[in-house]
Structure 1
C-alpha cells in the first residue's frame, strides 16, 4: 500500500484534515489530526488494504520496543483501524530534491539528510526490517527539517516477502528483499538528493532495469567522494550500513573542515 504524504492539504470542518488518497492498486488514507498534530494512517478499502496497515503496526511496535530512532517517525499507537504517527510538516524529501534540480538548498543540509537516512536504515536492519521501497517520496522532513524514513506498509519483517515494488530507478537488479537491496536504493536516493533527478530519470522502467542489470549506471564523477560511495552502493560493495555510515561521516568531517578553512 502506497501511503505517501502529498504536499496538498484539503481542509475539512473538523480537526481532521485529509492529506492524501494514495496511488496504486492498494489505496489508503493519511489524515492529519490537527488537535494533536499527528497523522492517522488507515486503509481506504478494509478488505484490500488492511494487511498493509497491520504490517506497518507490527513494524512500528518492534521499532518502539527497541527504543525508536530519531530518523523515524514517532509511533503513537493504534487508533480505530489505523495507526497514529508523528506529523512531519515539511512533507516529502522528494519536493526538496526537485528544488535541488533548480539549484536550491545548501550541501550541508543535504549531507545531514543523507547521514540521517543511513543511520535510520542501519537501525531498521538491526531490527530485522528491510524497507524495500526507500525513495525520496518515503523520506519525510519534520519541523526541524530533519529526515525521517517512513512508509513500512510493504516492508519485509524477519524475511517476509515485500508487498510493494519500488520504482525502477531504485530497484536492485539482484534482490530488493535484502540489506544490499536497501543500500542499492540508498545509493539512488543520494544521487537524487545531490542532483535533483532520479537515476536515468525519464527513461522507461524496463530500460532502467536492463541498464542496472548490466552494471551500467549514471555518471557520478562530478560528485567526488560522495559519488564513490554511491558507486559502492550500486555495485553491492557494502555488506551492511556500519561501513556506509562510517564512510559518510568521514566525508562530512572533511567537508566541514574545508568550510572552516575558507
Structure 2
C-alpha cells in the first residue's frame, strides 16, 4: 500500500510499505529537499529513505516540542483542538483496509513488546507467540504461551486460557500506532500535531490502542486520561475489572479476593487490570539502564536492605521481569553454546533481574521459582528483588518457614522428602513427582503445552484412596502445629503411582503465626480475612472442597463466577453432595460440624473399610505420626 503522489512525478512515496516494496532507486537528498509539498501535507510523515547496509530510516525532521512538555500549559480550547486533530489522525488509520490478519505490515510478526521472544530461543516455534495471527483466538492463545514463556504457572495459564476469550472476543484487526503517548506526539510551531515512533505499528485488535494508551498513563496525575477518551474509542469492558473473568484476574494476581469489592468502585482498578495483565504477558515501559542481578555464582548478597547497594534506582518498576541465564548444568547438555551465553551482563535494563538456572523450569509463584535438576530433584529458589528490599527479605523468610515445616514433618510418607536445605541462599531441594499436581491432573493437562483435555477416567478405588491420603496429609500438618492456609488441589502432588502428597508451605501458619496467603474462593472459608486468627477449621473447610473435587471431578460451583461463590459460601449455601459416598464428610467440613481432621479421617476410614488400601493407609498414618515424633 503506497501513497500515489510522487516526488517530481518520479518517485512514489512509501506509506507503511514493506521494505521489499520500496521504490528503486530511492529518492536522492535533492529529491527529498525538492518535495516540500508532499512532506508538508497529509496525516502521517512519509518514509523517504531506508538504509540497506545499515538499518536506518530517513524521515522528515519535525520542528516542535513533545506534547508532554507543553500539555500543562495548554488551555482547554487548545487541548480540544489538538484532540480533534489526533482523533482525525486515528480515524484515518482505522480507515485503512484490514488485511484480515493480526500482524505487522506485509504479514510480519507483531513488534509490540508483549509478543517478544528471544531470537535465538529454539523452544519457540516461529510465529507461535509473535504472529502473524489469523484470528483473535490465536492472539489469546499467544498471550497464554507468552505467560508460560515468562516462567508462568501452568495452572494459572489454564485459567487464562479459559478466561481471556470471555473478555477479548469479537475484535477486528485495525491499523494501530501501538505506543500512543504524549511523548510520541510532536506539537509543531504552527499548532499542528504529528505522530512519531511507529516501530510497533501494525494490525492489532481494535481495543489495543486504547488499552495501551491508558496503561501508559500510569497514575492519574493530570487530565490526559480523560482526553484519551476524546481521541480514541473507549473499550471499558476490555480494561474494566467489572467483567467476571477480568475481575478474577485481579483477584488471582494479587491473591487478595477482598480487593475485588473495592476495585469494582474505583477507576484505579481499570488501570490495575491492564497493568497486571501486561505484567503477566511481559510488557514493560522502555526503561533507562539500571542494575538488577541475581547470581548465586557471585559473592552472596546479604538479605534485606544491603541488596540495594547494587546501583538500584529509588523507584520500583511497575513490572519486574526475570531473565534466565543458563547454569553450569546446561554446559553438559549444550557443549556447543558459546561462553558468553553463560555470563550475566554487567548491566541490566531497568526492571530486569537476571538469575542463573539450577535446572529445567517447572513453575514460578509469588515467593519462589521451581526447577527440575538433571539429577531428577526439585529446587525451589526464592525470587530475588533488588528493587524492593522488603519483598526480597520476605521471600527468603517464607522459604525458611517452608524448610521448618519440612523439618517438622520429617519422613512423613504424605510429604515430599526434603533432600537438601541451603540456609545461605534459602534454596530448598525436594523430591520430584512426575504427575505434577492434582489440579492439573483433574483437568487432563499434560506437559509441554498443558492443553486442557478434560477430566480423565478415574476409578472409584483411586478416588477413595485420594480422599484418605488427602486427609492424612492435612492431619500430619495439624499434628505438627501447622495450618496450611492454602490447602488446594494445586498444592497436592501426585507420584507415578497416583499417590497424594501435600506441598508448598511458604505461606503456612506455624505455631499460630498470622496468615500470609489463602486459597482461591472455592477453597476458602466464608468471611475469611488476613487479620483473623489462624484456625484449623479454615483448613478443614478447604478439605471439604478438595474432597468434593476428588469425588466429582469438578470444583464447587464450577459453573459460577468466583464472586458469586463467595456470596454463596457466606450464605451457607453449598453444592449438593447427594450420591457422593463421603458427601456427609464434605458437608461436615463445609458446615463446621466436623471440627478436627482426625474426625474426618476416622469417618473416611469407616466408609472405605472395603478399600484394598485400607491396611496400607493405616500404616501410612502410623508412619506420619512416628516421623513427627522423631522430628520433634
**Fold shared, TM-score > 0.5 on shorter chain:** yes
Alignment match, 2:330: 13
Equivalent of residue 507 in structure 2, options 150, 154, 167: 154
Equivalent of residue 566 in structure 2, options 191, 204, 209: 209
RMSD: 2.6
Change (3 A) 1:242 1:145: same
1:81 aligns with 2:426: yes
Equivalent of residue 171 in structure 1, options 500, 511, 524: 524
Equivalent of residue 28 in structure 1, options 351, 368, 372: 368
Equivalent of residue 492 in structure 2, options 124, 131, 139: 139
Partners of 1:130 and 1:178 within 8 A in 2: yes
Change (3 A) 1:253 1:4: farther
Greater relative contact order (Cα 8 A, min sep 6): structure 1 or 2? 1
Q: Secondary structure at the match of 1:61?
A: helix
Equivalences for 1:112-123 in 2 at 5 Å? 112-123=465-476
Kindly provide the CA deviation profile for residues 225-247 of structure 1, in whole angstroms up to 9, marking residues without a partner as x. Answer: 31111111101111211111111
Partners of 1:186 and 1:233 within 8 A in 2: yes
Partners of 1:97 and 1:194 within 8 A in 2: no
The gaps in structure 1 that reach 5 residues or longer are 257-262
Provide TM-score, normalisation by structure 2.
Answer: 0.37
The gaps in structure 2 that reach 5 residues or longer are 1-150, 158-325, 332-357, 445-452, 613-632
Partners of 2:464 and 2:611 within 8 A in 1: no
1:127 aligns with 2:467: no
1:54 aligns with 2:396: no
Kindly provide the CA deviation profile for residues 33-71 of structure 1, in whole angstroms up to 9, marking residues without a partner as x. Answer: 122x2111111225422222121112112222xxx3111
Provide TM-score, normalisation by structure 1.
Answer: 0.85
1:108 aligns with 2:495: no
Alignment match, 2:381: 42
1:200 aligns with 2:546: no
Equivalent of residue 227 in structure 1, options 579, 583, 588: 583
Partners of 1:40 and 1:82 within 8 A in 2: yes
| Greater shift in the superposed pair: 229-238 or 42-51 | 42-51
Partners of 2:373 and 2:379 within 8 A in 1: yes
Q: Secondary structure at the match of 1:13?
A: helix
Change (3 A) 1:27 1:191: same
- The separation in 1 between residues aligned to 2:432 and 2:153, in whole angstroms, is 10
Structure 1 residue runs of 4 or more that deviate by more than 3 Å after TM superposition: 3-8, 99-103
Aligned residues: 245
Question: Shift of the alpha carbon at 1:174?
Answer: 5.0
- The separation in 1 between residues aligned to 2:153 and 2:471, in whole angstroms, is 21
Change (3 A) 1:202 1:41: farther
Change (3 A) 1:57 1:255: closer
